[in-house]
C-alpha cells in the first residue's frame, strides 16, 4: 500500500489515538516524522518518542501526554501544506497559531523547526502542520 501523504497519515493517527485515550501509537518511521515527533516533545505536546527496528522495518513509537483529568496535551492538529497544494511562507509571513497558544511546524533550509524558531532564525519555508 502506497501512501500519498505520510505526514497527514501520521497526524491522523495521533488525533485518533488521543480520541481513543491511548498511551502510545506506532507508525512507520521516516526522518521527517521523527523530526516532527522531536519538535512535539520539545514543545511539550507528547511525553516521548522512540525509533526501533521491528522485522526489518523502522517503526516510530510515540508516547502521548495527558494532563490532569485525562486532558490530552494536544487539542488538535491540522495539516496545512499538502502534496497537491504546497504552502510556503517567507520569514515575515509566519503567523501565530491560536494567538500564540499553538505551534506551526515548518521545513526550512535550516531543517525542521517551529514557526517561532524560523522567525528567530530569519528563514521561511513550507508549513507542514499546526498543533494546538
pLDDT value for 68: 86
Give the HSE-up count for residue 120: Cα atoms under 13 Å, Cβ half-sphere.
Answer: 5
What Rg do the C-alpha atoms of the chain give, in angstroms? 15
Number of domains the chain is built from: 1
How much is the average pLDDT of 8-21?
A: 97
For residue 1, is it within any domain? Answer: no
Grid coordinates of 12: 491522523
The 10s digit of each residue's pLDDT in 61-120 is 999 999 988 899 999 999 999 999 999 999 999 999 998 899 999 999 999 999 999 999
Please give the Cα distance from 24 to 14 (Å, whole number). Answer: 9
The 10s digit of each residue's pLDDT in 46-62 is 999 999 999 999 999 99
Please give the Cα distance from 25 to 90 (Å, whole number). Answer: 34
pLDDT at 28 over 70: yes
For residue 102, is it within any domain? Answer: yes
pLDDT value for 107: 98
- Ramachandran angles phi, psi of 7, nearest 5°: -70, -45
Question: Domain span at residue 19?
Answer: 6-131
Query: What CATH number is given to the structural domain containing 45?
Result: 3.30.1370.30
How much is the average pLDDT of 115-130?
A: 97
Residue 98 backbone class (left: φ over 0; alpha: ψ -120 to 50; beta: rest): left
pLDDT value for 2: 58
Amino acid at each position: 500500500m502506497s501512501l500519498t501523504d505520510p505526514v497527514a497519515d501520521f497526524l491522523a493517527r495521533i488525533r485518533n489515538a488521543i480520541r481513543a485515550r491511548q498511551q502510545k501509537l506506532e507508525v512507520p518511521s521516516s526522518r521527517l516524522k521523527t523530526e516532527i515527533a522531536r519538535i512535539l516533545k520539545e514543545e511539550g505536546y507528547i511525553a516521548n518518542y522512540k525509533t526501533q527496528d521491528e522485522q526489518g522495518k523502522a517503526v516510530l513509537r510515540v508516547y502521548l501526554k495527558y494532563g490532569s483529568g485525562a486532558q490530552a496535551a494536544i487539542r488538535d492538529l491540522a495539516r496545512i501544506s499538502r502534496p497537491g497544494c504546497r504552502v510556503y511562507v517567507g520569514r515575515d509571513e509566519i503567523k501565530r497559531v491560536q494567538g500564540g497558544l499553538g505551534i506551526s511546524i515548518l521545513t526550512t533550509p535550516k531543517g525542521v523547526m517551529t514557526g517561532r524558531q524560523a522567525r528567530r532564525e530569519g528563514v521561511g519555508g513550507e508549513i507542514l502542520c499546526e498543533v494546538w
